[in-house]
Structure 1
Amino acid sequence: MDGWSEFILAGMLFLASHAIPSMPKLKAALVRRLGPRGWVIAFSLLSTGLLFWVIYAAGRAPYVEIWPQEIWARWLVNLAMPMAILLGSFGLGTPNPFAFEGRTTGFDPVHPGIAGLTRQPLLWAIAIWAGAHLVANGDLAHVILFGAFALFTAMGMRTLEARKRRQMGETTWQRLSARTAMIPGAALLAGRWRPQRWPSPIRLVAAVLVWAALYHLHTPVIGVSPQP
């Protein structure tokens, strides 16, 4: 299998795997067989494995330069990644009825937590990761890879927000989203939301550990040093 074939196959399998949650009957059957927790673990492992494969395959594809790599773009990645990891760390599993990764129970619209900063923390984390890496990697394979992630994430935000709004109904949506925003920081700047407490130290430590792991494993796993 040559570099382009592997990249295309990995990309198609990654996209196919993420179509599973949008298939109610298939997802329900998998949840019945694996259990809710087992489904989440299995899907997470599958997604992570395919993600690493498609990134690795992009690095093995023939190098076709569209724009050159610049030192400032590497600095951009190193500045953007802590923000992306923090958003992901504080978004996963928190009470947030607007995001697919958040819990639907326990949400307080008066104190919305991470949803006050943005209703879509994980999708913004992916968008920041993809956008920064797109700027830093100007070869064709990586432009396709990170450009697709950035595009589909942006489209996914709009689609998810519209679906959640329909499901909740306009009255419930307005009540729950009054102190939130989709654009990060928009509710803060508008004065509709203020942080009420310090961030969870456990999630903060987890974010630091994830950042450190990704930074030090980038070279042996991806094959490219993250250093500028």
Structure 2
Amino acid sequence: MMAWELAGWAEYCVAFVVFFAAHNIPTRPSVKTAITARIGARGFGIGYGLVSLVALYWLLMSAGRAPIVEVWAWAPWQNMVPVIAMIPVCAILCFGLARPNPFSFGGRKNDQFDPREPGLIRLIRHPALAALALWAAAHTVANGHLAHVIMFGVFTLFALLGMRMIDRRKQREMPDWSQQLSAMRASSRRSTPRHWGSFTIRLGLSILLYIALLRGHGLIIGVYPLG
């Protein structure tokens, strides 16, 4: 193996380690408590988000610089898989996050959660992880090189296992977890939203997010989804 190939795989492995360390270490109770005491909960959230994005970007770039080992041949139709899949990904994020959701992370004002009006949470308890799994699985189809297959495959598995881990943790933390879940599942399956204002805003954000990702993908990642 050439020196440049070894360097490419080395960077890829280091980026992987840094990515998971950046997500794991700050969220440990002792570390999170110490950081929050210094910069506050809001500061921790902003800092954690920025560090996560930087680590993700480095990992994505390092996968592109890793030696090319073809697992399957590329075909033009494969690009359309993530292009189409990102429509529900954006919708899941915009309709599922920043709303009451005691069952997972990414919720807001969880104490105001009403199991009779759960919205998207009724179908997808873990919107952030569901979006991650769909994003990663769709991008695996369009990226048949070994480094990308490993990366997106790990992301998909991580998201799916993460849902089960959070369910177990929430069952320990929430004495009424089963009752809330049953009440939510038994809620009315309304075909129309109760709050049209909120629905319209989230729908608009979904469309804007999709357009931004579609247009910005080439500028940021260097790959243009539509050619």
Residue 158 of structure 2 is aligned to residue 152 of structure 1 = yes
Distance 1:27 1:73, change over 3 A: same
Q: Select between 125-134 and 44-53 the one with higher mean Cα deviation.
A: 44-53
Return the alpha-carbon distance in structure 2 between the equivalents of residues 72 and 14 of structure 1. Answer: 30
Taking only the aligned residue pairs, the percentage that are identical comes to 43
Give the corresponding residue for 1:143. 149
Distance 2:12 2:169 in 1: 32
The offset of 1:191, in angstroms, is: 8.1
Shift of 1:89: 1.5
Counterpart in the other structure of 1:122: 128
Partners of 2:116 and 2:187 within 8 A in 1: no
Residue 225 of structure 2 corresponds to residue 201 of structure 1: no
Is contact 2:85-2:138 (8 Å) kept? yes
**Cα offset, 1:68, TM superposition:** 1.2
How far 1:114 moved relative to its partner? 2.1
After TM superposition, give the deviation of residue 203 of structure 1 in Å.
2.1
2:66 and 2:75 mapped to 1: Cα distance?
Answer: 21
Higher mean C-alpha displacement, 149-158 vs 82-91: 82-91
Quote the residue 1:178 is aligned against.
182
| Residues 176, 125 of structure 1: alpha-carbon distance in 2 compared, 3 angstrom cutoff | same
Residue aligned with 1:147, SS:
helix
Question: Deviation at 1:202?
Answer: 2.1
Give the TM-score of the pair, scaled to structure 2.
Answer: 0.89
**Alignment length, in residue pairs?**
218
Which sections of structure 1, spanning at least 5 residues, go unmatched?
181-186
Q: 1:25-40, aligned counterparts within 5 Å?
A: 25-40=30-45
Provide TM-score, normalisation by structure 1: 0.89
Q: Which residue of 2 aligns with 1:132?
A: 138
Q: Which residue of 1 aligns with 2:172?
A: 166
Mapped partners of 2:58, 2:200: distance in 1: 32
Matched residue, 1:8: 13
Q: What stretches of structure 1 move > 4 A for 4+ residues in a row?
A: none
In 1: Cα distance, 2:111 partner to 2:117 partner: 14
